[in-house]
Amino acid sequence: MDLQSVKQRFGIIGNSPSLNHALKIAVQVAATDVSVLISGESGVGKEVFSKILHQLSNRKHGKFIAVNCGAIPEGTIDSELFGHEKGSFTGAFEARQGYFETVNGGTIFLDEVAEMPLGTQARLLRVLETGEFIKVGSSKVQKTDVRVIAASNVDLAEQIGKNKFREDLYYRMNTVSIHIPPLRERPEDIPLLFRKFSIDFAEKYASQPIQLDEVAINYLRNYPWPGNIRQLKNVAEQISVLAPYRLVEGEEALKYLPLLNRNSGLPMVTQNGSTEDLNEREILYKVLFDMKRDLNELKKVVSHMVQSQDDLHFSPADQVYLEQLMHSPPSEESRSQPAVPTNIMGGANGYTEVRSKFDHRDDVEDIEENLSLEEVEKRMILRALKKHQGRRKNAAVELGISERTLYRKIKEYDIEV
- Domain check: are 29 and 118 in the same one? yes
Higher pLDDT, 416 or 265: 416
Give domain status of residue 264, yes or no. no
In whole angstroms, give the CA distance from residue 58 to residue 42: 28
The CATH number given to whatever domain includes residue 247 is 1.10.8.60
pLDDT, residue 22, reads 96
In whole angstroms, give the CA distance from residue 286 to residue 400: 8
Structural domain that includes position 33: 3-181
pLDDT, residue 308, reads 58
Length of the chain: 417
* Cβ neighbour number for residue 190 with a 10 Å cutoff: 22
- Domain check: are 67 and 171 in the same one? yes
Asked whether residue 355 carries a pLDDT value surpassing 70, the answer given is: no
Q: Which of 244-253, 275-284, 371-380 has the lowest mean pLDDT?
A: 275-284
In whole angstroms, give the CA distance from residue 319 to residue 151: 63
Residues 402/264, Cβ–Cβ less than 8 Å: no
Beta bridge partners of 142: 133
- Domain check: are 285 and 205 in the same one? no
Q: What does pTM read for this prediction? A: 0.62
Strands 147-152, 107-111: parallel, antiparallel or unpaired by DSSP?
parallel
- Domain check: are 117 and 198 in the same one? no
- Domain check: are 198 and 322 in the same one? no
Beta bridge partners of 65: 108
Give domain status of residue 164, yes or no. yes
Give domain status of residue 262, yes or no. no
- Domain check: are 96 and 207 in the same one? no
The pLDDT tens digits of the residues spanning 311-331 come to 555 555 555 555 555 555 554
Asked whether residue 409 carries a pLDDT value surpassing 90, the answer given is: no
The pLDDT tens digits of the residues spanning 30-76 come to 999 999 999 999 999 999 999 999 999 999 999 999 999 999 998 89
Give domain status of residue 415, yes or no. no
Question: What is the phi/psi pair of residue 166, to 5°?
Answer: -75, 130
The CATH number given to whatever domain includes residue 72 is 3.40.50.300
In whole angstroms, give the CA distance from residue 231 to residue 143: 41
The pLDDT tens digits of the residues spanning 8-19 come to 999 999 999 999
Average pLDDT over residues 233-251: 94
Residues 257/235, Cβ–Cβ less than 8 Å: yes
From 157, 181, 205, give the residue that closes a domain.
181
Write down the mean pLDDT value for the chain.
81
Asked whether residue 362 carries a pLDDT value surpassing 70, the answer given is: no
- Domain check: are 224 and 291 in the same one? no
Give domain status of residue 263, yes or no. no
- Domain check: are 41 and 139 in the same one? yes
Q: Which of 146-160, 257-271, 275-289 has the lowest mean pLDDT?
A: 257-271
Three-class HEC string of 312-370: CCCCHHHHHHHHHHHHCCCCCCHHHCCCCCHHHHHCCCCHHHHHHHHCCCCCCCCCCCC
The pLDDT tens digits of the residues spanning 147-192 come to 999 999 999 999 999 999 999 999 999 999 999 999 999 999 999 9
- Domain check: are 177 and 121 in the same one? yes
Residues 100/133, Cβ–Cβ less than 8 Å: yes
In whole angstroms, give the CA distance from residue 345 to residue 349: 10
pLDDT, residue 277, reads 47
Residues 253/212, Cβ–Cβ less than 8 Å: yes
- Domain check: are 38 and 80 in the same one? yes
In whole angstroms, give the CA distance from residue 363 to residue 293: 12
- Domain check: are 354 and 243 in the same one? no
pLDDT, residue 168, reads 96
Higher pLDDT, 385 or 269: 385
pLDDT, residue 380, reads 84
- Domain check: are 330 and 396 in the same one? yes
From 161, 181, 201, give the residue that closes a domain.
181
Consecutive H or E run containing 10: helix 3-10
From 127, 162, 181, give the residue that closes a domain.
181
Give domain status of residue 296, yes or no. yes
The pLDDT tens digits of the residues spanning 195-229 come to 999 999 999 999 999 999 999 999 999 999 999 99
Asked whether residue 258 carries a pLDDT value surpassing 90, the answer given is: no
In whole angstroms, give the CA distance from residue 47 to residue 389: 55
Q: How many domains does the chain have?
A: 3
In whole angstroms, give the CA distance from residue 174 to residue 172: 6
Asked whether residue 268 carries a pLDDT value surpassing 70, the answer given is: no
| 110-137 burial: b if 16+ Cβ within 10 Å, else e | bbbbbbbbeebbebbbebbeeeebbbbe
Give domain status of residue 226, yes or no. yes
Asked whether residue 365 carries a pLDDT value surpassing 90, the answer given is: no
In sequence order, the 6+-apart residues with CB closer than 8 A to the CB of 209 are 195, 198, 199, 201, 202, 240, 246
Give domain status of residue 259, yes or no. no
